[in-house]
Structure 1
Amino acid sequence: MAVVYLIRHAQASFGASDYDKLSPQGEQQAARLGEALAARGVRPDLVVSGSMRRHAQTASLAGFTAEVDKGFDEFDHDELIVTHKPAYRVRAVLLADMARKGNPRHAFQEMFTAATQRWIDGGDGYTESFHTFCERSDAAVRRTAERLGKGETALVYTSGGPISVVVSRLLSGGDGLWAKLNPVTINTAITKVVSGRSGLTMVSYNEHGHLDGSDLLSYR
C-alpha cells in the first residue's frame, strides 16, 4: 500500500495583520515536526503543499521542499467573516467588537463558528461554496494518492480544513463531521491515510506525539 501523511501547518500569526506566516512558536513546531519525521524514518517519494506561505514554511523548516497543489489550500476565512458581518471588513471594528466581549479569543471563536455555519448551510455571497471546497479537497488527496506506487509515501502540508474534509468523508462518507473535526486539528498534527486496492483508508488522525510534554501545542 501507499501512504499519504496529511500534515497541518504550524501555528500561523493569529491576530497579526498578516496571518499567513508562521509565528515564532510555529517555527519551533515545524522544526520539531521535522525531527519527528526523521526519527520515524520517513523518506517521502513525493512532497506536496497548498499554496499558502504557512504551508511552504512548515515544509521547509521540517526539511522538505514541496511542489504546490492549490487543491490543498484552506478556505478563505476572511471572506467567511466579512460575509457574516460586512462591518468586519474594517479590521479595527472587528477588534473593537471582540474586545468589548471581555474575552477576545472566546468572542472571536463564537463569531467564527457562526460565520462558518452560515457557509456550511449554503448561504450566498461566497467565492467558493462549502460543497465546492470539500470536493476540491477530496480530489486533491485522491490525485496525490494516484501518483504513488506500491510502498511509496507522500507528505502533504496543508490546513485543518482540507484534512477535516478527508477525514470526515473517509469515516462517514460525507461532510457531516467536518464542523466538529476542523476546530480540533492541532498545528503540525499528522493524519495517516493509506491507499490500496479498496481505495483510501484513514488509519490515524491528528497525531501529535512530537508536541507532547512541551508548551508548543496549539490549535490556532
Structure 2
Amino acid sequence: MGRLLLVRHGQASFGAEDYDALSTLGAEQARVLGESFARRGVKPDLVLRGSLRRHEGTVAGLFAGLGEPGIPVTVDAGWDEFDFQQVVAIHRPLYREEIAGHEQPGRAFQEIFEAATGRWSSGGFDAEYAESFPAFRDRVTGALERAGELLREHRDIVVVSSGGPIALAVAMLTAGMTADAATLAVVWSSLNRVAVNTGVTKLVSGRRGLWMSTYNEHSHVEADQRLLTYR
C-alpha cells in the first residue's frame, strides 16, 4: 500500500515584489516539517514538486530538517498553483491599491480572493481566463494520475505543491472524479479556504485506487502559533 503525502508550500512573500519566494517564516516552516518527518521515521522514496520557486524552497527546507538530502526530486508542473493573481485582477483590477490602503490587508485580500475564485470556478466566464477552472481540473487530474502511477515503483512519495491543486485533488477524490462542476467547485473552495502552510494531506493507494486518509494535518506548527499561517 503506497502513500502520497501532499505538502502545501511554506509561507510565500505576500505583499513583496516577488511573491513566489518563501518568506523567512516559510523556510522555517518547511524545516520544522522535515524535522517532524525525521522524528516520525517518514523518509520518502521520491519527492515530486511543482515548478514554482516556493515549491523548490519548501523542498530545500524539508530536506534540511529531514537530514536526507539524497532523495530524488522530480519536477511536475501539473502541481503548480493556478494563476490567482490573474484570477483576482480580472475580478477586481485595482485590488492591489485597495489592499495597500486597508488596515488589515490579509483579511481584505482573502475576501476579494474568495469572490474572485468563486467567479472563476462558476463556469460562466471561462473564456476570460488563461486557464479556466475546467482546464485546471484537467491539469491536476493528470498530475494526480502520474503520481499514482509512480506509487507502483515507490512506497512513499512526498508531493510539494500549493493549496489550490491539493484541495482540488482531495475534492475530486471525495466528491467523485466525475462530480459535476458546481459540486466540485463548492467542495474545492471550502477545502482551499482552510489550507495551512506546510499542511500535509495523506492519500493512500489501494486496490480501488487512491483515497484520502487525512487532510491538511499541521500538528508540527501548532505548538508555535507563530508558525501557523494560511497565506
The two structures share one fold, judged by TM-score above 0.5: yes
Amino acid at match of 1:187: N
Query: Is residue 6–residue 156 contact of structure 1 (8 Å, CA) maintained in 2?
Result: yes
Shift of 1:105: 2.3
Shift of 1:101: 4.8
Identity %: 47
User: 2:148 aligned with 1:145, yes or no?
Assistant: yes
Q: Distance in 2 between matches of 1:6 and 1:205?
A: 9
Q: Could you list the per-position Cα deviations for residues 128-150 of structure 1 after superposition, in whole angstroms to 9, with x for gaps in the alignment?
A: 11011112112212211211237
Matching residue of 1:50: 50
Matching residue of 2:116: 115
- Using structure 2 for the length normalisation, give the TM-score: 0.87
Number of residues of Structure 1 aligned to a counterpart in Structure 2: 214
Matching residue of 1:182: 192
Query: Is residue 9–residue 55 contact of structure 1 (8 Å, CA) maintained in 2?
Result: yes
Structure 2: gaps (5+ residues): 64-68
1:196 equivalent among 199, 206, 217: 206
For the residue of structure 2 that corresponds to 1:138, the secondary structure is helix
Query: Is residue 101–residue 107 contact of structure 1 (8 Å, CA) maintained in 2?
Result: yes
Shift of 1:66: 2.5
Structure 1: gaps (5+ residues): 89-93
Q: Could you list the per-position Cα deviations for residues 57-105 of structure 1 after superposition, in whole angstroms to 9, with x for gaps in the alignment?
A: 101111056210010000001110221133x3xxxxx343224454322
Q: Distance in 1 between matches of 2:153 and 2:97?
A: 54
Query: Is residue 138–residue 162 contact of structure 1 (8 Å, CA) maintained in 2?
Result: no
Matching residue of 2:172: 169
Alignment root-mean-square deviation, CA: 1.6
- Using structure 1 for the length normalisation, give the TM-score: 0.92
User: 2:216 aligned with 1:206, yes or no?
Assistant: yes
For the residue of structure 1 that corresponds to 2:201, the secondary structure is strand
